[in-house]
Amino acid sequence: MRSEDKVITYLISRTFTKLMKTKTEKDDQESCQSTINPSEWKGRTIEIDDAGTGDLVGNAFIGFRDTSTGKIIFQSVPVGLYNEENKGKDEDQPKKHIVKIVIKALKALNHSEGDRILICRGNCFDLVREYFDENKVYYEPAIVEGELQNAVEGRFIQHLRKLGVRSNNLTMDSGIKRYFILFNWVCQDFPNRERYVKTGFPAWKKKWRNIALERYQKPKIGKTQRRELIERRANEIYQNMFEKPISMGKATSVGR
């Protein structure tokens, strides 16, 4: 079969699979809704969101919110599951752990057949969605915003503060800015802080670990040393002024 035919076959197969999906399996962009203004539902709704699964440092957290009571509970995913040693044994270890804690949390919330689950679209929930499909648990993919998002991100920030991240720029907004705040924190005390890094992230081993190590090993100039360098340079300039005095004649001519 030619490569063009393979591509066409794949696209047809993919389209057919999408068409055959049940309502429970909706995962396309159009079916997603925001938890701030969700569609009406006669029963109870449970929201599920994550924080820290894509961040460089610390545990990850999964948050659950019962919208009927406002009750929120958290489950953690230890940073060790994201480490290179563990991911080498089983790349899906964090995702398998997330399935277990989702089952545990839903049990604690007394989840029943008439409930609707609005779950974040993140790939950390890939195996959770598979579990839901296999066990006919009704769910809808959602853009989780509002109370639960703020709560779970806040829980993650609390965790980072306990680890010792003191930056005033650390916020609940995930993304590249937070990545570099955490990266710089690791660089400052690399030998003692690497254990808090999700070392199983491919980019850590390929690039960022070496950069962090280099930054840590780079000689640091303290305030005292900096002051001594400034004073030494000032003395050198002062001595040069007497050894090579400026000619008043030249200075006058330049002034004119």
CATH of domain 3-166: 3.30.420
DSSP secondary structure letter of residue 47: E
Strand 71-77's sheet: what is its strand order?
A: 33-34, 139-143, 116-120, 45-51, 60-66, 71-77
Task: pLDDT tens for the chain, 256 residues: list them.
Answer: 444 343 333 333 443 333 333 333 444 444 688 988 888 898 899 999 999 999 999 999 999 999 999 999 999 999 999 998 776 566 689 999 999 999 999 999 999 999 999 999 999 999 999 999 999 999 999 999 999 999 999 999 999 999 999 999 999 998 999 999 999 999 999 999 999 999 999 999 999 999 999 999 987 656 666 667 677 776 776 677 666 555 544 444 444 4
pLDDT at 70: 95
Burial class of residue 194 (count of CB atoms within 10 Å of its CB; 0-12, 13-18, 19+): middle
Looking at residue 225, what is its pLDDT?
66
Sort strands 33-34 and 139-143 into parallel, antiparallel or unpaired: parallel
Domain ranges of the chain: 3-166, 223-255
pTM of the prediction?
0.74
